[in-house]
Amino acid sequence: MAMSAGRSAFVLDDDADEATVIAAHQEGLRVVRGVLRRVWIDAISDRPWPQQAQDPLRALLDLAALRHTGDTGIEVDVGDDDQFDLVVALSPFTISAEGWAESDEQIYSASDTGTSLWMALTPREHSELRERLLTRGADPNAVIPQPPRRRPWWTFSLTPA
């Protein structure tokens, strides 16, 4: 993904505990809210929705019904506190949530029912996220720079040199 100058890609460490995973999703969204212009979330999970997600899930499905959309790709109004709070509550548990900046640059992605988190953050946003994680008692070192991508195994030559 191409990123604008000043933003770097961050991901969630595979070893993060559950409380840190939830906090990283939620606080990451809060940190980038000011630059988010469009957000979509799926009201689908690969596992049963936890108790704390039940009320926000019902509210998101009600919103989708009002807009005559299905349970996938529900767009929320980032400027509406109640709608934004639904994304914050459900992001750690959905199969997909995406956040885009005004420049049509993706800066937030949550997927795989909480196990995958990607964010494009400025140094100031990353610092703020670390502070927010500390305040919640979560591991601030669990959000790490995205490692360089490796070439897929099938692109290597199988012919001896």
Q: 119: which 2 tokens?
A: 């964010």
More confident position, 151 or 3: 3
Q: 71: which DSSP letter?
A: S
* pLDDT of the residue at 159: 53
* pLDDT of the residue at 113: 79
For 86-141, how does the pLDDT look when each residue is reduced to its tens digit (9 = 90+)? 999 999 999 999 999 988 999 999 988 778 999 999 999 999 999 999 999 999 99
Of 15, 19, 1, the closest CA to residue 99 belongs to 1
Residue 35 CB neighbour total at 10 angstroms: 19
Rounded to 10 deg, the angle between the 18-32 and 81-90 helix axes is: 150
For 104-114, how does the pLDDT look when each residue is reduced to its tens digit (9 = 90+)? 999 999 988 77
Please state the domain extents for the chain.
8-145
Q: Are 82 and 89 within 8 A, CB to CB? A: no
More confident position, 46 or 27: 27
Say if residue 158's pLDDT is above 80. no
Q: What percent of the chain has pLDDT over 70?
A: 89
When the pLDDT of each residue in the chain is averaged and rounded to a whole number, the result is 90
